[in-house]
Amino acid sequence: MKISEQEVRYVAGLANLRLSDAEVARFQADLDQILSHIDKLNELDTDKAAPMSQVLFETGDTATLRLDVIVPPLGNQAALANAPESGAGYFKVPKVIER
């Protein structure tokens, strides 16, 4: 197994995902299969390859910067319109305590 049940639960915690026991078992099997396939990448020597962290096209260094012009913001009411819970112009959430 590429990934243990404990690791699956740990990763779900990092991702803030509540998983059922059945989901944990299922994803352990799925991730094992997929990670085994991904191991294929280790066949390649990439010491001399640069990571493709940008999808490259020829452009000047500052070409992607927009002009610093003030535009009207969304507005408080519109921004809160999809909030499951809001009040006094804010998003409302349950009390924050340590995990």
Partner 1 sequence: MEIASLTIDKIRAGLLARSFRAEELAAEALGFAEEANPKTGAYLHFSPERALAAARRVDEKIARGEDPGPLAGVPVAVKDVIVTSGIRTTCGSRLLEHYVPPYDATAIIRLEEAGGLILGKTNCDEFAMGSSTENSAFGPVRNPVAPDRVPGGSSGGSAAAVAQGTAVVALGSDTGGSIRQPASFCGVSGVTPTYGRVSRYGLTAFASSLDHIGPFARTVKDAARVLGVIAGRDPRDSTSAEAPVPDYTKALDGNVRGLKLGLPREYLKDLTSESGSLIHRGVDVLQQLGCEVREIGLPHTDYAIATYYVIATAEASSNLARYDGVRYTFRSADSATLAEMYRNTRGDGFGAECKRRIMLGTYVLSAGYYDAYYLKAQKVRSLIARDFSQAFAEVDAVVAPVSPFPAFRLGEKVDDPLAMYLSDIFTITGSLAGIPCMSVPCGRTAEGLPVGMQILTRHFDEATMFRIADAFERAGGVN
Residues in contact with partner 1 by CB under 8 A are 3, 7-8, 11-12, 14-19, 23, 26-27, 30-31, 33-35, 37-44, 46, 49-57, 59, 63-67, 74, 78-79, 81-85, 91, 93-97, 99
Handedness of CA 88, 94, 95, 99 (dihedral sign): negative
Nearer to partner 1, 52 or 88 (CB): 52
Q: How far is the CB of 56 from partner 1 (least distance, A)?
A: 7
Residues sharing a CB contact under 8 Å with residue 90, sequence separation 6 or more, in sequence order: 80
Q: How far is the CB of 20 from partner 1 (least distance, A)?
A: 8
Handedness of CA 17, 23, 25, 29 (dihedral sign): negative
Q: In the numeric block, which tokens belong to residue 94? A: 């349950």
